[in-house]
């Protein structure tokens, strides 16, 4: 079958609509075409001077193709909307207007069904059409009613897709505006070496002071949904590293990066940044599923060769973090906050943390516990051999000047890993 998947990327895709939108419309077309026993079904979108074949489903590849632009004055669609042609034509040879159209013989079109797609605001979006190369005398008014019902459903679907596209565009503009104003603001959460509570480094965390007020994870999630997630991620990394050269030699700086950011190649610019990359810890987050770990490892290699330390975040939280560990051979494994919370009173958390710590040390990785909030949690982690910890019990995230004060105490020297 020749569907949109077979011609993905050909011509105008219809104003940037999402793949999910196109697949939904395509499924409707496939059902309509098969039910009516037609050869071709398509949605045409009316523009100022032409109509665009926005989504198309056909049994075999024919003279029409996805993204094709046809003058409004040519063909059947506009004439059906204007009432110059009936919505149902079982045999085009029996209709004088249809016989006179060049498309009838050029395509050819033996039977034709077409109804307008009218959006809830009464705007005519275009038409839902299907045709067969030979006459089809079995078509009747019930088939027209089916097509009208499908057109109504498509109108609602198209309206929702347009609303989603507007929302994404607004979000993208909002993200770019706050970035232009200097966002995100970076705060620094100290990481301490457990045996002697010496400062090991800082995790750089993003904060947003602009409207709409929402947590950093929601800012990043909204940015990724709007297609500007990597822009925001890279800006956060740049904002964090802007402080590195002002920080005394010793503590490492942890920056968060999604697998997509690493695979994008944008981080390779850090090699020419002039920063001491041996003080940078790259924490791989779980923003997206990694489908090709070989490619991810290859993308990381130039950075690791420059001294960047690799950490896997959220260990113990799910399957993805374990895949990261096994495939990427990180220098640091960070125990997830859900694992450390209440670990002093939960044998299952204790057993899992003990196993992860033992495994990490076996492969030469440092273990850092996140989210430590009580002295008893810290004591339990120390008894399990966990190397470092961070959390509100030890220190809250702080601004850069406060971080400099922390650096004046004893510092664990050497490589961050």
CATH of the domain at 224: 3.20.20.450
Residue 9 belongs to a domain? yes
DSSP string for residues in 38-106: -SEEEEEEE-SSEEEEEEEEESS--S--TT-EEETTSSSHHHHHHTSS-SEES-GGG-HHHHHSHHHHH
pTM for this prediction: 0.77
Do residues 200 and 286 share a domain? yes
Do residues 345 and 304 share a domain? yes
DSSP string for residues in 180-219: HTTPSEEEEEEEEETTTTEEEEEEEEEE--SSSP--HHHH
Q: What is the pLDDT along the chain (417 residues), one digit of tens a residue?
A: 433 333 333 333 334 445 566 677 888 899 999 999 999 999 999 999 999 999 999 988 888 999 999 999 999 999 999 999 999 999 999 999 999 999 999 999 999 999 999 999 899 999 999 999 999 999 999 999 999 999 999 999 888 888 999 999 999 999 999 999 999 999 999 999 998 999 999 999 999 999 989 999 999 999 999 999 999 999 999 999 999 999 998 899 999 999 999 999 999 999 988 999 999 999 998 766 788 999 999 999 999 999 999 999 988 776 677 888 899 999 999 999 999 999 999 999 999 999 999 999 999 999 999 999 999 999 999 999 999 999 999 999 999 999 999 998 754 444 455
Residue 19 belongs to a domain? yes
Do residues 70 and 154 share a domain? yes
What was the pLDDT predicted at 410? Answer: 54
| Rounded Cα gap, residues 326 and 182, in angstroms | 37
Residue 417 belongs to a domain? no
Do residues 79 and 153 share a domain? yes
What was the pLDDT predicted at 287? Answer: 63
Residue 35 belongs to a domain? yes
Query: 104, 138, 167: which is the final residue of a domain?
Result: 167
Do residues 281 and 403 share a domain? yes
Sheet holding 88-89, edge to edge: 69-71, 50-58, 40-46, 124-132, 111-118, 88-89
Do residues 118 and 252 share a domain? no
Residue 129 belongs to a domain? yes
Residues of the domain holding 138? 4-167
Residue 58 belongs to a domain? yes
Do residues 117 and 220 share a domain? no
Do residues 385 and 244 share a domain? yes
Query: 117, 138, 167: which is the final residue of a domain?
Result: 167
Domain holding 133: CATH number?
A: 3.30.450.40
DSSP string for residues in 372-388: --SHHHHHHHHHTT--E
Do residues 144 and 188 share a domain? no
| Rounded Cα gap, residues 223 and 168, in angstroms | 9
| DSSP conformation class of 109 | -
Compute how many other C-beta atoms are within 10 angstroms of the C-beta atom of residue 146: 16
What was the pLDDT predicted at 7? Answer: 32
Compute how many other C-beta atoms are within 10 angstroms of the C-beta atom of residue 163: 10
Residue 211 belongs to a domain? yes
Helix (H) or strand (E) holding 117: strand 111-118
Do residues 77 and 197 share a domain? no
Q: Give the position of tokens 């100022």.
A: 48
Residue 151 belongs to a domain? yes
What's the structural domain count of the chain? Answer: 2
Strands 388-389 and 50-58, sheet pairing: unpaired
| Rounded Cα gap, residues 280 and 332, in angstroms | 12
Do residues 190 and 126 share a domain? no
CA distances 140 to 108, 146, 286, 389, Å, are: 21, 10, 54, 73
CA dihedral 285, 288, 293, 298 (to 10 degrees): -70
Do residues 108 and 41 share a domain? yes
Query: 142, 167, 192: which is the final residue of a domain?
Result: 167
């Amino acid at each position: 079958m020749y569907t949109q998947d077979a011609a993905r990327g050909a011509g105008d895709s219809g104003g940037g609509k999402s793949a999910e939108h196109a697949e939904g419309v395509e499924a409707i077309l496939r059902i309509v075409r098969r039910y009516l026993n037609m050869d071709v079904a398509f949605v045409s979108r009316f523009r100022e001077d032409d109509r665009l074949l926005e989504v198309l489903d056909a049994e075999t590849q024919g003279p029409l193709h996805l993204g094709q632009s046809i003058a409004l004055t040519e063909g059947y669609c506009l004439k059906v909307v204007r009432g110059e042609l009936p919505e149902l034509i079982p045999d085009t040879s029996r209709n004088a207007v249809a016989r006179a159209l060049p498309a009838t013989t050029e395509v050819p079109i033996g039977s034709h069904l077409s109804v307008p797609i009218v959006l809830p605001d009464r705007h005519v979006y275009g038409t839902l059409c299907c045709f067969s190369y030979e006459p089809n005398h079995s078509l009747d008014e019930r088939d027209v009613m089916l097509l009208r019902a499908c057109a109504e459903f498509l109108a609602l679907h198209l309206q929702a897709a347009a609303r989603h596209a507007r929302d994404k565009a607004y979000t993208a503009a909002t993200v770019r505006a706050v970035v232009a104003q200097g966002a995100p603001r970076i705060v620094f959460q100290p990481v301490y070496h457990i045996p002697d509570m010496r400062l090991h480094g800082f995790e750089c965390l993003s904060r947003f002071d602009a409207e709409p007020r929402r947590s950093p994870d929601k800012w990043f999630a909204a940015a990724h949904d709007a297609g500007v997630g990597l822009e925001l991620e890279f800006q956060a990394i740049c904002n964090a590293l802007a402080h590195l050269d002002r920080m005394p030699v010793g503590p490492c700086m942890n920056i968060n990066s999604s697998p997509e950011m690493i695979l994008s190649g944008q981080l390779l610019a850090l090699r020419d940044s002039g920063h001491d990359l041996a003080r940078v810890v790259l924490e791989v987050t779980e923003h997206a599923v990694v489908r090709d770990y070989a490619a991810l490892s290859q993308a990381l290699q130039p950075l690791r060769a420059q001294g960047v330390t690799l950490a896997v975040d959220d260990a113990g939280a799910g399957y993805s973090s374990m895949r990261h560990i096994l495939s990427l051979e990180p220098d640091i494994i960070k125990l997830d906050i859900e694992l450390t919370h209440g670990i002093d009173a939960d044998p299952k958390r204790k057993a899992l943390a003990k196993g992860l710590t033992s495994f990490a040390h076996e492969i030469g990785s440092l273990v850092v516990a996140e989210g430590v909030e009580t002295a008893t949690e810290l004591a339990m982690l120390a008894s399990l051999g966990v190397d470092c910890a961070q959390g509100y019990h030890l220190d809250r995230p702080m601004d850069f000047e406060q971080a400099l004060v922390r650096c004046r105490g004893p510092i664990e020297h050497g490589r961050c890993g």
